[in-house]
Amino acid sequence: MRKILTRTRIEALIIIVGVLGYAWSGLSLPPFYNVPGVPGPTVFPLILAMVMGAGAIWLLIFPGEDKEAPKSPAGESRWRRLLNRWHFYLMWGLLIAYVFLLPYLGFVVCSVALLSALIFLLGERRWYLGISIALVFTMAIYLAFSKGLQIRLPLGIFEGIMK
């Protein structure tokens, strides 16, 4: 017998609730930020909410196989289990550092460093590939926001060079 409400589907429902809240808060942005000829401030939150919502609906409909987590040995301590998840905690630490360093170092430097580190943590061992992927994606996002949407991103240490 197949389980209808798997862990993946529960997570998808939680994501959908979060996406609905994010979309609602994006729609409630004040209209005085509108500039003629430029997409309004609600465009990016709505696009992001649609993409995340589509992914959550996909997980809700096609959750995949529900694999059980591997059992830890009986004698393994709580600290050992936490140390085995160091990738997870390091990724969160990097994201928090990104938020705090962004105004000082700028979008380009912080994003290249964060994406490179995340690529390496996810298993890529060729440093030239990880850094080049991070550079390409960072510059594409920077150009899309600064030139295409005319949104000013923090430049940090490149303030004088990139203006």
Residue 141 domain flag: yes
Contacts of 13 by beta carbon, 8 Å cutoff, 6+ apart: 56, 60
Per-residue pLDDT tens digits for 9-21: 888 888 899 889 8
Its domain, for residue 28, covers 7-61
- As a whole number, the mean pLDDT across the chain is 78
Residue 136 has a pLDDT of 92
For the chain, what is the domain count? Answer: 2
Helical segments of 36-155, H only: 43-61, 78-83, 86-105, 107-121, 127-143
Per-residue pLDDT tens digits for 40-63: 667 778 888 899 889 889 888 888
Per-residue pLDDT tens digits for 116-127: 988 888 777 888
Residues 103 and 154 in one domain: yes
Residue 76 domain flag: no
Q: Do you know the residue count of the chain?
A: 163
